[in-house]
Amino acid sequence: MAMYVLIPGADGRAWYWHLVVPELRGRGHRVVTVDLPQDDSAGLAEYTDAVLRAIGDRSDTSHEIVLVAQSLAGFIAPLVCDRIPVGQMILVNAMVPVPGETAGEWWADTGQAEARAAFAAQQGRDPGADFDLLTDFFHDVPRELTEEALAQGESGPSEALFTQRWPLRAWPDVPTRFVQGRDDRFFPLDFQRRNAQERLGVTVEEMPGGHLLALSHPAELADLICR
């Protein structure tokens, strides 16, 4: 069995994974969730340290560590692999950095804004509309979960995280999978297919759902993670 370490995206709260946790434990796996720093000065090192603290004692080697990284956590999970032995990384609707790139530069480097606008036009939505949390992120999340998420108040990544250059010289030599929601309005499927192929040389594993798969399709996501 594996020990799945679930790293949230820009929101930074372990709560994001709360529906996936029982799904994985019900399949016999150990699960660790991570709350990321809320300090605006925290950078890549501090985010990485938060994941390592959540993992804790690694003397029990009977469970292979599998990192599951949502969205912005694609910048963090590889740094964990540089510090401890990891059996596998699973990226979920994730950002994939290249050496020396900042999270702030990633958007223009990959053409995310153009891809998001083109997908909106394809769906009959306004391609010039500003980002909207409900429209772009929560469009397929059940209403009660959306209300629960919004009731927790604002949370988000630090400014430092977007300005620090990704320090690795190459992607870690760790088996990496890329799970992508077909209905992701923020990182559209075709856009992510290109990123996964060009930056990692892997093919995305598609599933139904938008950007917040752990809230909209937790059982299906757990099935795919465990495949």
| Digitized pLDDT (tens) for each residue of the chain, 227 residues in all | 899 999 999 999 999 999 999 999 999 999 999 999 988 889 999 999 999 999 998 767 778 999 999 999 999 999 999 999 999 999 999 999 999 999 999 999 999 999 999 999 999 999 999 999 999 999 999 999 999 999 988 788 889 999 999 999 999 999 999 999 999 999 999 999 999 999 999 999 999 999 999 999 999 999 999 98
pTM metric for this prediction: 0.96
Please say whether the beta carbons of 39 and 51 come within 8 A: no
What CA–CA distance (Å, rounded) separates 99 from 172?
Answer: 11
Closest among 78, 70, 81, 66 to 29, alpha carbons compared: 66
Please say whether the beta carbons of 97 and 176 come within 8 A: no
Q: Yes or no: is domain 2-226 CATH 3.40.50.1820?
A: yes
Opening angle at CA 24, ends 51 and 191, nearest 5: 70
Which value, to the nearest 10 degrees, does the dihedral of the CA atoms of residues 15, 40, 167, 78 take? 0
